[in-house]
Amino acid sequence: MTRDYRRGMQFLADARKRLDMVAKRLKLDPGLLDKLKFPKRSLIVSIPVKMDNGRLKIFTGYRVQHNVDRGPAKGGIRYHPEVTLEEVTALAMLMTWKCAVVNIPYGGAKGGVYCDPQKMSRGELERLTRRFTYEIMMMIGPERDIPAPDVYTNPQTMSWMMDTYSMHQGFSVPGVVTGKPVDLGGSKGRLEATGRGVMFVTREGLKHLGLSLKGATIAIQGFGNVGSVSANLLHEEGARIVGLSDISGGLFDPEGIDIPSLLAHVKRNRQGLIKGFKGPGFISDFRRANEKLFGLKVDVLIPAALENQITEENAQSIKAKMITEAANGPITPGADKVLAKKKIFVIPDILANAGGVVVSYFEWVQDTQALFWKEKEVNQRLEEIMTAAFYDVLRTAQRHRVDMRMAAYMLAVSRVAEATRLRGIYP
């Protein structure tokens, strides 16, 4: 495997560029700005894993804690063949802002392992996860840093992490990770939380534009956990999903894709992909499918894949009235300017996809109290927080006459900066 380090470096540069822009508007102290630009702590580890063929293979893993001034660090673990330290650092910074914008008491962190999980067996993934957990154990814990699932990790991954950590403590510590199965102290509603949060803010965004979610036309890039849950919940609310794509291609139907049937197909598909679904308008070429998806004339476009998908070049072809960023950093700063000129209403990632970390917070609270909530209660509390956060950001945008991204960052950065100011610098 070979990595394109430029992508992660550009992603981090973009994250810091946005922070500079926010700091200028907030008139942030230069020293405080420097503190927020760089992570508190970064760890690079070598992970020796015995593969199924008996050979020893060394993987590289990362854990970055960006800021802990508002509470313990929080952030996912991703397994991906493009993971770099720079990418993980940028994502940790985004987690800091995400937690602050929805006003939960966490700081930001992120982790990753450079690997191709789709080419690894379950046993190899378990051994990788357990050794990675051991290597980063000095950083994580219920009061320090609480990992969660991210790209190509899932509740099973978190189960292995929780068990490994607990074995070294000598007792069960369910609060060390979130996104676990319910039987191990996970929260009901956690698996759907990010997608449900996307649905809530999309609904409120359409209301702001004078539109209804019922009957709205929607295109979604990415059909993993977030994209598929978002599609299903939006479909249940009466929206029409007219286009969606994943790495195997794209599906297009102006009458609306049969989402329940597609979900059943993806579940049966060994690779979990949309290819092979017997529906109209399938395009097998990934790039061509995304070009068509981004050019659809729809009410809402939801990028739910990886970062830097909407660029200054392809933003010119976007015809959606609104974009909900279900993925982390899917729009580049250059594309932001193009979309602003086109007057496309953008709900930024640090708000739009914060549902996962909100319910992760609920899970952590339930674990520490050993008192668990019903799914209806979880979903209701999630709706309250996501809706309140949307209108906090909207009011900030209207007050300062800025777009939603700038407003979300201004709100988040000001909250973190104030916490830092109140705590002071030790010693």
Q: Which two tokens stand for residue 351?
A: 């708000």
Closest CA to 296 of 314, 278, 269: 314
Q: Are strands 73-80 and 145-149 parallel, antiparallel or unpaired?
A: parallel
CB atoms near residue 303 (< 10 Å): 27
DSSP lists the bridge partners of residue 43 as: 63
With H, G, I as helix, E, B as strand and everything else as coil, classify residue 340: helix
With H, G, I as helix, E, B as strand and everything else as coil, classify residue 213: coil
Q: Are strands 240-246 and 217-221 parallel, antiparallel or unpaired?
A: parallel
Rounded to whole angstroms, the Cα distance separating 109 from 325 reads 20
Rounded to whole angstroms, the Cα distance separating 332 from 24 reads 19
Rounded to whole angstroms, the Cα distance separating 382 from 362 reads 9
User: What DSSP character marks residue 283?
Assistant: B
With H, G, I as helix, E, B as strand and everything else as coil, classify residue 353: coil
Closest CA to 1 of 150, 89, 116, 121: 116
Residue 180 falls in the annotated catalytic set? no
Q: Of residues 74, 98, 110, 292, which has the active-site annotation?
A: 110
Beta strands in 179-232 (DSSP E): 217-221
Rounded to whole angstroms, the Cα distance separating 83 from 415 reads 29
Q: Which two tokens stand for residue 263?
A: 């979900």
Rounded to whole angstroms, the Cα distance separating 285 from 288 reads 5
The answer to whether the beta carbons of residues 173 and 101 sit under 8 Å apart is: no
Q: Which residues are catalytic?
A: 110
